[in-house]
Amino acid sequence: MYKILAIARNTFRENVRDRILYNLVLFALVMILSAVALGQLALGQERKVIIDLGLSSISIFGVLIAVFIGISLVYKEIEKRTVYALLAKPIYRRDLILGKYLGLLFTLLVNVAVMTAGLMLTLVYFGETGAQAYLRLLPAVYLIFLSLMVTTGLALLFSTFSTPALSALFTLFLWVIGHFNGDLLGIGKLTESAPLKWLGGALYYLLPNFSNFETIGSRNIIQSVAYSKPIDPSAIGWITIYGLIYSSLLVALSAAIFSRRDFK
């Protein structure tokens, strides 16, 4: 475990010293602050607009960080040949994958925390008082982070065998599809064809379901937070289990592919 943490620490350090990260975080904070201007237009609804835009910014920029850093996690090690000296050390290839994944997750955790702090400061500026109002943000931020765990897993998986450009394309493609996952099941119900039904069902269960992290029941989580509606804790528990299992499978698959690779 010590070795995995050493790899994770080094990955975190690599990300922290990467300019792309700062650009994205800065841009996210600017987006959150721009919510202030938009809030002025929505008379009496400032707080809702700020929360809505702020959480959406955290989610979108989190995805961009997860994708653009995730896709080069393993590829860069191979392309720059740092992997040669690394794999000659007494580490399992799966440990390298897990360490890199955890390192990027920690980077995302810090970034999401910074962006959330930015959002909270904006709310302070608008005279939001009471810890309750801030605590209400946390379930939504937590679910955003869970969805980022899955997105990072996808980027990591593709980076073990593909180029960064293709990995970005595949990851973003699955991220978009993953938001309309429910429709796949819908297609299966509408069609008479048994193979199509089967295919729709198989894809529904196989592909990541990102809408799980955004809606509980029929209600959008960000909207619930913005309108101070209660969120069912048991639903969050189930989504947590789903996120952990799905991302664990992605990491395991990445490790299996990476373990079989030849480094020519």
Partner 1 sequence: MYVIETEDLTKDFPVGFWKKRPVRALDKLCLQVGRGEIFGFLGPNGAGKTTTLKLLMNLIRPTSGSARILGEPVSSVAMHSQIGYLPENPYFYDYLTPEELLTYVGSLFNQRGEALADRVSTLLDRVGLAEAGKLQLRKFSKGMIQRLGIAQAIINNPEVVFLDEPMSGLDPLGRREVREVILALKDKGVTVFFSSHILPDVEALCDRVAIINKGKLQEAGALKEILDVGAQGHEVILTGVKPEFADLLRNLCAEMRSMGERLHLRVSNTGQMQSLLSHVFENEIELISINPMRPSLEDRFLQEIRKQPAGEGMNR
Residues 200-219 touching partner 1, rule: CB under 8 A, are: none
Q: Does position 13 bind partner 1 by CB under 8 A?
A: yes
Residues 59-118 touching partner 1, rule: CB under 8 A, are: 80-92
Q: Does position 263 bind partner 1 by CB under 8 A?
A: yes
Nearer to partner 1, 49 or 255 (CB): 255
**Cβ 131 vs Cβ 43: under 8 Å:** no
Size of the site for partner 1 (CB under 8 A): 26
How many other CB atoms are there within 10 angstroms of residue 31's CB atom?
18
- Nearest approach in angstroms of CB 7 to partner 1 is 8
| DSSP symbols for 214-230 | TEETTEEHHHHHHTT--
- Nearest approach in angstroms of CB 87 to partner 1 is 6
Part of the chain binding partner 1 (CB under 8 A), chosen from 10-18, 144-152, 219-227, 249-257:
10-18
> DSSP class of residue 96?
H
Instruction: Kindly tell me the sign of the dihedral angle through the C-alpha atoms of 165, 202, 183, 233.
Output: negative
Q: Does position 198 bind partner 1 by CB under 8 A?
A: no
Nearer to partner 1, 79 or 232 (CB): 79
- Nearest approach in angstroms of CB 14 to partner 1 is 6
Nearer to partner 1, 14 or 214 (CB): 14
- Nearest approach in angstroms of CB 161 to partner 1 is 15
Apex 226 CA angle, 225 and 228, nearest 5: 60
Write each residue from 16 to 35 as x if it is in contact with partner 1 (CB under 8 A), else as -, in one continuous string: -xx-----------------
Distance CA 215, CA 148 (A): 15
Q: Which residue, 137, 147, 110, is CA-closest to 21?
A: 110
Q: Which three-class secondary structure state does DSSP give residue 80?
A: coil
- Nearest approach in angstroms of CB 44 to partner 1 is 48
* Location of structure tokens 């929360």: 51
**Cβ 148 vs Cβ 250: under 8 Å:** no
Nearer to partner 1, 85 or 206 (CB): 85
- Nearest approach in angstroms of CB 222 to partner 1 is 35
User: What are the structure tokens assigned to 240, written together?
Assistant: 């947590």
Q: Which three-class secondary structure state does DSSP give residue 261?
A: coil
Point out which residues bind partner 1 (CB under 8 A).
Answer: 2-3, 6-7, 9-10, 13-14, 17-18, 80-92, 262-264
